[in-house]
Amino acid sequence: MLRQPAGWPGINVACVWLPRLALGAELLRHPEWDGRPIAMGGGAGERKVVQVCSPEAEACGIHPGLPLREVLACSREAIVLQSDPVHVAGVVDEVLAALQRVGPAVEAADDQPLEAGLSGSGLQRALASNEGVTAGAPALHGALFLDLQGLEQVYGGDLALLERAMRTAVPEVLQPRLGFGAGKFAASVAAQLAPPDSCRVILAEQTAAFLAPLSVHYLPFPGETWERLDLLGIERIGQLARLPFS
């Protein structure tokens, strides 16, 4: 359980991150596969490599990027699947509907990255510390956002109670990780760094110090922008934040 601060100072957004969403969606459809080595490739037209796999598959030497044709050589018991975006979208809709019973303002992350240019406006969008969910969610596949405005009174200021309500809304097989922050980006990174059975809370005054040492790859930029940052020798968010923008 999370360590509850006094009240909810500087916490505006909660993020539910589902790190293996496509895999979890299949386990909801086929619960008998739970505990089996499962490797999932992309959709039609994508490279024929493993995109996500179960921990049991990883224990057999299967990993993202492995050609699908090599999966059965690692484990003859492995189940090889193709991603089903329609089914995944249906699971997301069901989870969003359940989260709306926790709090009315919820949304899924936008899978589109920020603009490729290293513009001040793009960086400010990613690092904003006081946005509600209506401002548009940062790109993080499998992330759902809950606006906490007004919920402190509903849950009596008990953040642990809110966490339990959120976990009840999400099937355990989806392995949700929870993060709380002043804005969507901080909350999403907090969720990515949270332990599987707990969550992470980043207050508004902690946001800059929390993000500064982290890799720029947490930012919702496209790959070509990360390549440009590498050429500039910029590895950490704090380095990027200190750059002068016009």
Q: What does the pLDDT look like over 67-102, one tens digit per residue? A: 999 999 999 999 999 989 999 999 999 999 999 999
Task: Round to whole Å and give the CA distance between 90 and 237.
Answer: 34
pLDDT value at residue 133: 47
Backbone φ and ψ for 94, nearest 5 degrees, come out as -65, -40
pLDDT bin (cut points 50, 70, 90) of residue 111 is low
Task: Round to whole Å and give the CA distance between 93 and 169.
Answer: 12
At a CB cut-off of 8 Å and minimum separation 6, what does 95 contact?
A: 16, 18, 144, 169, 170, 171, 174
Q: How many CA atoms lie within 13 A of 215 on its CB side?
A: 8
Strands (E), the chain: 13-17, 38-41, 50-53, 79-82, 106-108, 143-147, 177-181, 199-201
Q: Which SS3 state, helix, strand or coil, does residue 3 take?
A: coil
CA 41 to chain centre: 20
Question: Residue 176 pLDDT > 90, yes or no?
Answer: yes
pLDDT value at residue 134: 42
Q: What is the mean pLDDT of residues 162-191?
A: 94
Task: Please choose, from the candidates 240, 193, 190, the residue with its C-alpha nearest in 3D space to the C-alpha of residue 216.
Answer: 240
Question: Residue 2 pLDDT > 60, yes or no?
Answer: no
Q: Which two tokens stand for residue 57?
A: 């598959």
Long-range contacts from 223-231, C-beta under 8 angstroms, 24+ separation: 224/116, 225/113, 225/114, 225/116, 225/117, 225/118, 228/118, 229/118
Q: The pTM is what?
A: 0.82
Q: What is the mean pLDDT of residues 137-160?
A: 84
Q: What ranges in 20-84 are assigned the alpha helix state H?
A: 21-29, 55-59, 71-74
Partner residues linked to 17 by β-bridges: 143, 177
Report which listed range, 43-47, 81-85, 175-179, 204-208, is most confident: 175-179
At a CB cut-off of 8 Å and minimum separation 6, what does 51 contact?
A: 22, 40, 41, 42, 64, 83
Find the range with the poorest average confidence among 58-72, 137-151, 172-186, 189-203.
137-151
